[in-house]
Chains A and B, each alone.
Chain A
Amino acid sequence: MSDSKSIASGKGSHEPEHDYAAGLAVIASDKVADPGLEPHRVRMTDKSVKHEKAAARQVAALFLASVVGSIFSIYAYFAFPLSDDLGTVRNNTLFMGLGITLGLFGIGIGAVHWAKTLMPDAEVAEERHQTRGSEEVRARAVEIIKLADSESGFSRRKLIRRSLYGALALFPIPAIFFFGDLGPNPKDTLRHTMWKAGTRLTKDPTGLPIKASDVTLGSVFHVIPEGLADLEHHKLEEKAKAAVLLVRLDPSELKETAERKGWSYDGIVAYSKICTHVGCPVALYEQHTHHLLCPCHQSTFDVTDECKVIFGPASRPLPQLPIAVDAEGYLIAQSDFTEPVGPSFWER
């Protein structure tokens, strides 16, 4: 039985162009004949009353198991209450969940078992109809469109039609403006952080200042600017820009360009902790290689070489915070970062 032929005849004789509808398909003239549906394979439940009755009992047993499961989950709701002991959460979750699971499985498996063993399982064929309407239906559809057009004068009355297009094109525009107050113009907020000349470097999250002498060789400090921990508003926004990583290296290992010679203090360098890729905190420091690794996308920065990118998708080095020491020996910033921190943006 040829597929192509059956469709061809199904489409009707109205379409002389149909010969081309098959495109590049090869129309087989000598196709193997379709033997028709396979004979029905008889099941045990069809043949023997014993098996049929057993199947019916199994289905009922599964439905009853569901009842038991549902009741058990209600019991578990009361029998496993929550308390300050977190182990109670586990029992509550587990036993209520298992009860409901049984309640669901009983119904589901029971219904499927019923269908597979006791309902008829011989396959039936049903004719399909072409998705496209018959020629009469299509003709009527065209007629309706034409009628609507002539009755409304949609094609004829150009002025109405065009002014409607104009109105429809403009009416959604106010909605776009309505979204304007979703957020402020960023202006230059992305260029500045909390760091100013003289701001002390403090520990994250305690906010305790750091003495240069506390920073031993090879140690790492997670740093926030002084005062950030006490902020009432916008604490996280400021932290998302101002977080810094402090490392002390052997001064001989530092490769510093002339203009940044004064930015470190006795081998102590401070770099922005916000990745220049998409802004994750670059929090993993590998001591023996002096590499900083971003855990999100594995951009790797060389601390000895002004945090230049040596691996991963980032492009720019981490911005350096120029630091010094105040009269009491605490580490302070010389100024804000000299470039925007964090991910790239168009105007930077």
Chain B
Amino acid sequence: MSTAVNTQKKGGFLAGTANYLDERVGVAGILKEFGRKIFPDHWSFMLGEVALYSFFVLLLSGTFLTFFFQPAMTPVIYDGVYGPLKGAEMSIAYASTLDISFEVRGGLLMRQVHHWAALLFVAAAGLHMLRVFFTGAFRKPREINWVVGFMLFVLGMAAGFTGYSLPDDLLSGNGLRIIDGMIKGLPVIGAYTSSLLFGGEFPGEQIVARLYGLHILLVPALILIFIVIHLFMVVIHKHTHYSGPGRKDSNVVGYPLMPVYVAKAGGFFFIVFGVIMLVAATFTINPVWNYGGYDPSPVSAGTQPDWYIGFLDGALRLAPSHLEVHAGGVTWAWNILLPMIVGVGFLAVVALYPFLEAWVTGDKREHHVLDRPRNAPTRTAIGAAGVTFYAALWAGASTDLIATNFLLSLNNVLNAIQIILIVGPIIAYIITKRVCLSLQRKDREIALHGRESGRIIRMPHGEYIEVHEPLDAFEQYKLVDFKDYQPTLARPNAQGKITLRARLRAGLSRFYFEDRIAPVSQGELDAAHHDHAPAVTEAPKKKAVTAAKKPVAKKPAAKK
């Protein structure tokens, strides 16, 4: 032991520090385990990183804002520098928001950084979810991590909404008014819940302070915990990689954490932060001073929530008239309950989808190679239908702006979106599935017969043919390496009965895999090459030359 200490100390300050840390927290073991961990490289893997880094930016800018913001709704007379509101009665929360904007150097910048980062956080998390969905990254063993990620998305919306409501301006107050109306519409508990939340009648003087507690403590703490779980599971599973030559379910192909990923991902944090900072420095967001403090009587036209709440607001707008039912002395506010059920139901389907697909395929193997979306046509089509459904709800939140900007009738716009909400997903499903199958056929064609070269030659007997350039083995493998499933039949169980469950599963398996394009097999490949052997001769040599260059590389990769 003592000899080890002595030899280490010779290395100077850095080695001394490393030795100090290793002898106290075992840092050498940690480095040995994680230092050369391999991460695959793809632009789409950065979406989750963007969300993570936006969250860091939110923590930094949010902490700054807490030093100046006062979450109290006690009315005061404004006496700050913003002329148009001088002498107006407003809450302390709103007045302190104005002070941050106009009387703290960098205050407006930080407010805008915080708001833009919040919008980016939810957007990046949403896109990351879409990437995970369309590539099948949620399959075993990552189903639970999908649910964790889903929770992060929902918590992101919760953080956004609680934060949006804090400045107590006219717009955010109206947002709370809508929440109050929705809560009051709940059966049995509605009026009581509203009274508990607002500390009495709406708006009361409690809600901002209560939301503040949630916004700066509970919600971010939960987000942080879920992020830790999310990333911990990434370490356990190792990252997925796209299908391609050399990429298997049993390996992971990419660059080592140190130094490449430390530089790339670390640098990327600064780039994300820089983009948020640039946008915040140059584009106004949520100019609360234009709206005035909250007052239940006025409202401005064209009010809109932050983008991620849009789909819920749209659901409220798209509900048909006269849904409310009065029966037995009580009120069923279906015009509120139905949109809530649609919104929550949609999210529930998103959260549970991996388990549904796992049940249908019955595939208990671990999947670490990602699907190209075209190679899972039904899943991709379901995703497209879901995106269309969400988009229709989202567009529903802008019916008034669509109508005024495009000079259309508001009524027609709303009715059109109501129809799109129902019909759009079906059309999206059909089109996407056909497109996927066509792309798969095209892949098959290219794998078997090569790429069209545009070169026409005339055969001795007068026939014209186009020369097809064969692919090299690497490109070809990318087109033929995917998993293939086939539908099953409902089989009787041990008692000789065909259960409803078995029937349902068989039906779903038909729905998923009835239309399928099988990957090209070696036999098919050989047969195809045999057919037009003369055209094939050149290309493999070309690749061989490139391959031969490999050892010449000046800095060969660190060999394992």
Contact = CB atoms under 8 A, between A and B. Distances in A.
Is chain B found bound to chain A in the same assembly? yes
Nearest to B106: A96
Contact of B331 (A3, A36, A273, A348): A348
B511 interface: no
A37 B335 CA distance: 58
A101 B518 CA distance: 50
B254 A123 contact: yes
Contacts of A325: none
Nearest to A49: B554
A322 interface: no
Contacts of B267: 107-112, 114-115
Nearest to A309: B321
A204 interface: yes
A183 B195 contact: yes
Nearest to A27: B484
Given A105-B270, A125-B253, A24 B485 contact: yes
B529 to A, nearest CB: 12
A319 interface: no
Given A39-B550, A278-B316, A283-B299, 5 more contacts: A26-B518, A32-B521, A100-B281, A124-B254, A237-B201
B294 interface: yes
6 contacts: A7-B366, A28-B519, A34-B481, A38-B244, A108-B269, A241-B201
B186 A346 contact: yes
Interface in A277-328: 277-281, 283-284, 295-299, 309-316
Interface stretch (B22-30, B347-355, B469-477): B469-477
A21 B488 CA distance: 15
Interface stretch (B127-135, B219-227, B255-263, B425-433): B255-263
A295 B366 contact: no
B266 A111 contact: yes
A47 interface: yes
B120 interface: no
B521 A30 contact: yes
A272 to B, nearest CB: 11
Most chain-B Cβ atoms within 10 A of its Cβ — which of A28, A179, A185, A240? A240
Interface of A: 1, 3-4, 6-7, 10, 20-26, 28, 30-40, 42, 46-47, 77, 81-84, 86, 89, 92-94, 96-98, 100-101, 104-105, 107-112, 114-116, 119-128, 130-131, 179, 182-186, 189-190, 204-205, 222, 224, 234-237, 239-241, 243, 273-275, 277-281, 283-284, 295-299, 309-316, 342-348
B487 A39 contact: no
B202 interface: yes
A314 B195 contact: no
A20 B202 CA distance: 59
B81 A86 contact: yes
A94 B282 contact: yes
A204 B297 CA distance: 8
Given A32-B521, A35-B474, A243-B296, A183 B246 contact: no
Contacts of B329: 347
B280 A1 contact: no
A124 B557 contact: yes
Nearest to A46: B554
A298 B282 contact: no
Interface stretch (B174-182, B373-381, B494-502): B174-182
Contacts of B331: 344-348
Contacts of A312: 317, 321, 414
B336 A6 contact: no
Contacts of A348: 331
A3 B335 contact: no
B1 interface: no
Interface in B236-279: 236-238, 244-246, 248-256, 259-260, 263-264, 266-274, 277-278
Contacts of B363: 21-25
Given A124-B558, A280-B174, A295 B251 contact: no
Contact of A345 (B185, B272, B368, B486): B185
Contacts of B518: 26
A313 B320 contact: yes
Contacts of B558: 120, 124
Contact of B335 (A100, A131, A277, A298): A277
Interface string B183-209: 011111111101111111111101000
A77 B106 contact: yes
Contacts of B83: 86
A26 B521 contact: no
A177 to B, nearest CB: 12
A93 to B, nearest CB: 5
Contacts of B542: none
9 interchain residue pairs of minimum CB distance: A97-B281, A278-B181, A122-B557, A23-B362, A111-B267, A108-B270, A315-B324, A104-B274, A37-B246
Most chain-B Cβ atoms within 10 A of its Cβ — which of A10, A89, A342? A89
Contacts of A83: 81
A298 B186 contact: no
B330 interface: yes
Given A236-B294, A237-B200, A346-B190, A86 B317 contact: no
Given A104-B274, A124-B38, A186-B192, A296 B263 contact: no
Given A26-B484, A46-B553, A344-B331, A35 B200 contact: no
A42 B560 contact: no
Nearest to A120: B557
Contact of A7 (B250, B476, B552): B250
A31 B368 contact: no
Contacts of A112: 263-264, 267-268, 271
A25 B496 CA distance: 25
Contact of B263 (A3, A32, A115, A278): A115
Contact of B316 (A111, A205, A297): A297
B268 to A, nearest CB: 7
B246 A38 contact: yes
A128 B251 contact: yes
Nearest to A282: B299
B477 A345 contact: no
Nearest to A126: B38
A81 B278 CA distance: 20
Given A128-B251, A279-B178, A89 B271 contact: no
B234 interface: no
A185 B248 CA distance: 62
Contacts of A236: 203, 294-296
Interface stretch (B97-105, B148-156, B458-466, B530-538): B97-105
A89 B298 contact: no
Given A24-B513, A104-B270, A347-B191, A313 B246 contact: no
Contacts of A313: 316-321, 323, 335, 339
Given A21-B363, A26-B485, A311 B321 contact: yes
B364 A23 contact: yes
B553 A122 contact: yes
B369 interface: yes
Interface in B38-75: 38, 41, 75
A35 B245 contact: yes
B524 to A, nearest CB: 8
